[in-house]
């Protein structure tokens, strides 16, 4: 069988498990493959796709395989890749205090009280997800209110965008030099209290959180995650322990990114790139994304952490050693600084080398036609999160409150990026928004701003093959012979073709077009249910009862 070159399998920063040596025939289903748009069967051998084709041809394989799986009409697709995840934080949110559904300040405080009472032995209480912008009155909890709710114990509560937090006096006391400040903490103060809170987590708690997050990802048909670590987000042991865990325990592959302007450190830690959340700015919800014009609801333009010169220096350093660089940039001024810096780097080391490196920009929300064109020119990967628009877009959403309706409508222009030829890799930024791959595809296809919508097929590709391309693998994320056998099996309704342009959708449903269908993701309809997830031919999740 055709194989993937071994040197490409050993990409740095990718945890690799041994492939399952068994040969499996899947049949009597729907296989989403460009190799055969009408495929109903697939053979997997030694961790790779060996064949896809029709039910009649599958009979020839039945006697020569170790296992036959009767799909009973289920859909088989490539496993999803979530291109931006904070794994430990995701696990802590799943096992800890989650305030993302709290409808009011009063409810949030009640949840804090209950959580504190239920966790008497925790050295520090951890919670996530509050969003005062959606609460009546629009204000976060005060330090005094949190002190009362916790009985004076250390507490760290990150805002939904993880770029600010509220804490108790007892946690502030653990941070030398940080006075009794009130209100949400941002920038360096926030990084300091977050470090103090995370330092209190035991290795056992951290491992539990990582296992929980990876297990949850597998249950959603996610076969790979891009871990975005860094000294301002977590710490080195958290990063390396996660890579070790994912290599030892069957589950999603983990591709590690370390966000530090220290190329040698990233290589020592086994990172795929000195990239991910290397902050050029902050977030819109916390008023820390860096803008050209002031916020509509604040008298400033946010926070800049890196300028174009710093970006250029980092891109040159990474390009010269063959390492992927990347930056967190949300506001238009921050994105402009990245573009200017990468262009300056290209002038020094050559445009071809910069393009070949596939450097990344995370989030890239406030784009202009000029910066979209620059992404295409410089070969930048846009690692983006469609769920941000689903959560914060629209005339009454947080974007409109922060920026005004006119600027808000320009955010997350996925269609413009695709038209320009910019590679897209979809992710969640979990725990900012939940791991939810089909929901992410739906969010891109039904963007609040119609001109930014893309077809379900394009969105699905960005959330499967796009994540692999973002790490330099063009042979994966698709079910064709020779590709890694990373796939998911789904229970779903009739398959259709959905696109913003009805003419495209009508032609694509004609059998002559040879376009494989995907589930109907119209808002309000049930999303597909994952029955099984397989990574490298090894089953990492089976839904109970299936």
Q: Identify whether 239 is part of a domain.
A: no
Strands (E), 54-169: 67-70, 75-78, 80-85, 97-98, 125-130, 155-159, 165-167
pLDDT of 19 strictly over 90: no
Q: Are strands 41-45 and 48-53 parallel, antiparallel or unpaired?
A: antiparallel
pLDDT (tens digit, 9 = 90+) per residue, 117-129? 999 988 899 999 9
Q: List pLDDT tens digits, range 423-433.
A: 999 999 999 99
Based on the fold, state whether residues 29 and 105 are members of the same structural domain. no
- What is the rounded average pLDDT of the residues 442-468? 98
Do 52 and 478 form a contact (C-beta atoms < 8 A)? Answer: no
Query: For the residues 52-69, what does the mean pLDDT come to?
Result: 94
112/150 same-domain check? yes
Question: In this predicted model, what pLDDT tens digit does every residue of 326-340 receive, in sequence order?
Answer: 999 999 999 999 999
% of the chain surpassing 70 pLDDT = 94
User: Looking at residues 217-233, what average pLDDT do you find?
Assistant: 96
Are 290 and 333 within 8 A, CB to CB?
yes
Buried b (16+ CB within 10 A) or exposed e, 219-230: ebbbbbbbbbbb
pLDDT tops 70 at residue 11: no
Confirm whether 390 is domain-assigned: no
Q: Can you tell me the distance from the alpha carbon of 168 to that of 463, in angstroms, rounded to the nearest whole number? A: 39
The enclosing domain of 160 has a CATH number of 3.10.310.70
**122 found inside a domain:** yes
- Of residues 126, 201, 225, 118, the one with CA closest to residue 166: 126
DSSP-derived pairing of the beta strands 23-27 and 67-70: parallel
Residue 104 has pLDDT above 80, yes or no: yes
Two tokens, residue 525? 């309809």
Rg of the chain, C-alpha, whole Å? 23
For residues 68 and 113, membership in a common domain is answered with no
Model pLDDT, residue 71: 97
Examine the domain organization and report whether 56 and 154 are in the same domain.
no
Q: What is the pLDDT of residue 14?
A: 64
Q: Does residue 173 share a domain with residue 109?
A: yes
CA nearest neighbour of 219 among 348, 362, 94, 72: 94
Q: How confident is the model at residue 9 (pLDDT cuts 50, 70, 90)?
A: very low
- What per-residue confidence (pLDDT) applies to 16? 66
Pick the last residue of a domain from 164, 199, 234.
199
- Of 199, 229, 258, the last residue of a domain is 199
pLDDT for residue 13: 59
The answer to whether residue 264 is domain-embedded is no
Strand, coil or helix: what is 475?
coil
262 occurs within a structural domain: no
Domain of 38, CATH number, reads 2.30.40.10
User: In degrees rounded to 5, what are phi and psi of residue 188?
Assistant: -65, -35
Q: Are residues 109 and 24 in the same domain?
A: no
pLDDT confidence of 2, banded at 50, 70, 90?
Answer: very low
195/96 same-domain check: yes
Same domain, 169 and 70: no
Cα separation, 496 vs 505, in Å, equals: 9
- Residue for token digits 């910066």? 371
Tell me, yes or no, whether 39 and 117 share the same domain. Answer: no
- Tens-digit pLDDT profile for residues 343-383: 999 999 999 999 999 999 999 999 999 999 999 999 999 99
Per-residue DSSP letter, 451: G
Give the residue from 76, 97, 93 showing the smallest Cα distance to 85: 93
Give dist(CA 454, CA 119) in Å, integer: 45
pLDDT band of residue 161 (cuts 50, 70, 90) is confident
Per-residue confidence (pLDDT) for residue 514, from 0 to 100: 61
Residue of higher predicted confidence among 22 and 44: 44
User: What band does 3 get if pLDDT is binned at 50, 70 and 90?
Assistant: very low
Range of the domain at 125: 87-199
204 in a structural domain:
no
Same-domain status, 105 and 58? no
Name the pairing type of β-strands 30-31 and 495-496. Answer: unpaired
Q: Is residue 101 over pLDDT 50?
A: yes
Q: Calculate the CA 160 to chain-centre distance.
A: 15
Residue 8 has pLDDT above 50, yes or no: no
- Final residue of a domain: which of 199, 217, 233? 199
Count how many domains the chain has.
2
Among 223, 181, 189, 216, CA closest to 82: 223
The answer to the question of residue 173 being in a domain is: yes
User: In this structure, what are the phi and psi dihedrals at residue 111, rounded to the nearest 5 degrees?
Assistant: -65, -35
Regarding whether 193 and 92 lie in a shared domain, the answer is: yes
Is residue 190 pLDDT above 60, yes or no? yes
More confident residue, 406 or 234: 406
Q: Which uninterrupted H or E stretch holds 254? A: strand 253-258
Length in residues, the chain: 546
Does 160 reside within a domain? yes
Mean pLDDT score, 309-330: 98
Which element (helix H / strand E) includes 539?
strand 538-542
> In this model, does residue 546 exceed pLDDT 90?
no
For residue 188, the model assigns a pLDDT of 84
Find the helix packing angle between 143-150 and 105-118, rounded to 10°. Answer: 40
**What value does the mean pLDDT take over residues 386-410?**
97
- How much is the pLDDT for 18? 65
Do residue 64 and residue 103 come from a single domain? no
Strand 155-159, strand 125-130: pairing: parallel
């Amino acid at each position: 069988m055709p194989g993937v070159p071994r040197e490409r399998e050993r990409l740095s920063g990718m945890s690799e498990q041994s492939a399952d040596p068994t040969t499996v025939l899947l049949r009597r289903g729907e296989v989403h493959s460009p190799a055969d748009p009408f495929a109903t069967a697939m053979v997997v051998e030694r961790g790779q796709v060996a064949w896809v084709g029709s039910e009649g041809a599958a009979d020839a394989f039945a006697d020569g395989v170790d296992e036959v799986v009767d799909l009973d009409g289920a859909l088989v697709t490539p496993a999803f890749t979530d291109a931006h995840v904070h794994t430990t934080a995701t696990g802590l949110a799943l096992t800890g205090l989650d305030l993302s559904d709290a409808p009011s300040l009063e409810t949030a405080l009640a949840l804090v009280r209950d959580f504190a009472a239920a966790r008497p032995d925790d050295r520090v209480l951890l919670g996530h997800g509050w969003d005062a912008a959606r609460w009546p009155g629009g204000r976060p909890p005060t330090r005094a209110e949190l002190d009362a709710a916790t009985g004076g114990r250390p507490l760290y509560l990150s805002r939904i965008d993880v770029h600010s937090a509220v804490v108790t006096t007892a946690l502030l006391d653990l941070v030398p030099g940080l006075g009794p400040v009130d209100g949400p903490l941002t920038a360096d103060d926030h990084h300091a209290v977050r470090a103090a809170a995370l330092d209190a987590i035991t290795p056992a708690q951290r491992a539990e959180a990582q296992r929980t997050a990876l297990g949850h990802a597998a249950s959603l048909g996610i076969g790979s995650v891009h871990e975005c670590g860094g000294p301002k987000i977590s710490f080195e042991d958290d990063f390396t322990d996660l890579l070790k865990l994912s290599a030892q325990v069957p589950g999603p592959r983990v591709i590690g990114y370390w966000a530090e302007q220290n190329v040698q450190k990233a290589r020592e830690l086994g990172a795929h790139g000195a990239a991910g959340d290397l902050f050029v700015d902050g977030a819109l919800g916390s008023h820390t994304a860096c803008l050209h014009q002031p916020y509509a609801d604040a008298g400033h333009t946010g926070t800049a952490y890196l300028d174009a010169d710093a970006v250029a220096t980092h891109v040159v350093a990474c390009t010269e050693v063959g390492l992927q660089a990347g930056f967190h940039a949300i506001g238009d001024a921050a994105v402009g600084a990245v573009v200017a810096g990468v262009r300056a780097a290209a002038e020094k080391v050559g445009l071809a080398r910069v393009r070949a490196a596939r450097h990344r920009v995370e989030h890239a929300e406030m784009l202009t036609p000029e910066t979209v064109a620059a992404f295409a020119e410089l070969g930048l990967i846009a690692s983006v999160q469609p769920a941000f628009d689903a959560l914060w877009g629209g005339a009454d959403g947080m974007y409109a409150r922060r920026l005004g309706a006119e600027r808000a409508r320009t955010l997350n222009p996925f269609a413009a990026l695709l038209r320009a030829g910019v590679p897209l890799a979809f992710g969640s930024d979990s725990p900012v928004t939940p791991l939810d791959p089909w929901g992410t595809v739906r969010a891109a296809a039904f963007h609040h701003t119609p001109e930014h919508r893309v077809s379900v097929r394009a969105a699905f590709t960005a959330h499967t093959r796009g994540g692999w391309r973002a790490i330099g693998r063009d042979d994966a994320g698709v079910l064709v012979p020779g590709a890694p056998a990373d796939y998911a099996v789904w229970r779903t309704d009739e398959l259709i073709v959905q696109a913003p342009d009805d003419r495209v959708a009508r032609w694509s449903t004609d059998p002559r077009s040879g376009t494989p269908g995907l589930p109907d993701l119209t808002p309000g309809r049930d999303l597909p249910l994952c029955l099984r997830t397989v990574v490298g031919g090894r089953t990492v999740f089976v839904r109970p009862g299936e």
